[in-house]
Amino acid sequence: MPTLLLSDIHANLVALEAVLADADGQYDRVWFLGDLVGYGPQPNECVERLRALEPLALSGNHDWAVLDKLDAFDFNAEARMVVHWTQRTLTADNRAYLNDLPPLRAEPPFTLAHASPRHPVWEYILDLPTAMENFAHFDTPCCLVGHTHVPAVFVLDEAAGELSFTLVEHGDVIDLSRHRLIVNPGGVGQPRDGDPRAAYALLDAEAMTLEFRRVAYDVAATQELMRELNMPRRLIKRLAQGL
């Protein structure tokens, strides 16, 4: 049975429920690459929903900011505003759950990192030079990352000394057995590749394949909850644009 691979839920329960419904019956365990809260309107609901799935989970930079492990002044004003609201809203129990999650862990043949294996909380892997440097910072064949909210694959052909980068679409299946890779399943709760549908992946660790998926969710429902909470307008708008 495949592993359901999720990242960057960002307190968007409507998107998380759509992903869980879409993948229903097709996985037997869950891996989560961090940023369960921040940006979105339902942090407690998302922590509780994910927790109940008993995932192998990481924490991300927004989780760290909410936990005061990272200075919220590193964020833009809108993200910071939601960090502070989340701090006031999160229950002690849910906060304790987030506090126990590491930002990096090895699950051979995979390394899991929120942002990058070199700087697991903060670095964005968006270009070839950054990806190349990061291949020196993990030992397993494949590293799974989130953080950019953009589904993508970096493939390092060590024999040829070539690194390539591919943006991926719904239904694309990649072979994880041939080269070393850095793979990003995209974001569940705030996609940023211009496609507003929630992104996730199904990882088959036996066949060593990974399938990228997209699923539409009721964006307007999440936006309405954000409006009721007077969340920043730009954060509300970007969900519909997938940016």
To Zn ion, the closest distance from the beta carbon of 147 in angstroms equals 6
To Zn ion, the closest distance from the beta carbon of 7 in angstroms equals 7
To Zn ion, the closest distance from the beta carbon of 160 in angstroms equals 33
Q: Which residue, 125 or 156, is less far from Zn ion as judged by CB?
A: 125
CA angle 33, 151, 35 (to 5 degrees): 30
The stretch near Zn ion (CB under 5 A) out of 3-11, 71-79, 159-167, 220-228 is 3-11
> One-letter amino acid identity for 39?
Y
Q: Which residue, 8 or 123, is less far from Zn ion as judged by CB?
A: 8
To Zn ion, the closest distance from the beta carbon of 117 in angstroms equals 17
Return the residue of 8, 63, 193, 195 that touches Zn ion, per CB under 5 A.
8
Q: Which residue, 2 or 41, is less far from Zn ion as judged by CB?
A: 41
**DSSP state letters, 196-238:** -SEEEEEEETTTTEEEEEEE---HHHHHHHHHHTT--HHHHHH
Taking Cα atoms as reference points, which of 48, 50, 85, 53 lies closest to residue 66? 85
Q: Is 35 in the site for Zn ion (CB under 5 A)?
A: yes
Q: Which residue is at the shortest CB distance from Zn ion?
A: 35
- Pairwise CA distance, residues 72 & 64, whole Å: 9
Q: Which residue, 82 or 131, is less far from Zn ion as judged by CB?
A: 82
List 228's β-bridge partners, or say none: none
Give the number of C-alpha atoms closer than 13 A to the C-alpha of residue 166, restricted to the C-beta side. 11
Provide the binding-site residues for Zn ion, judged by CB under 5 A: 8, 35
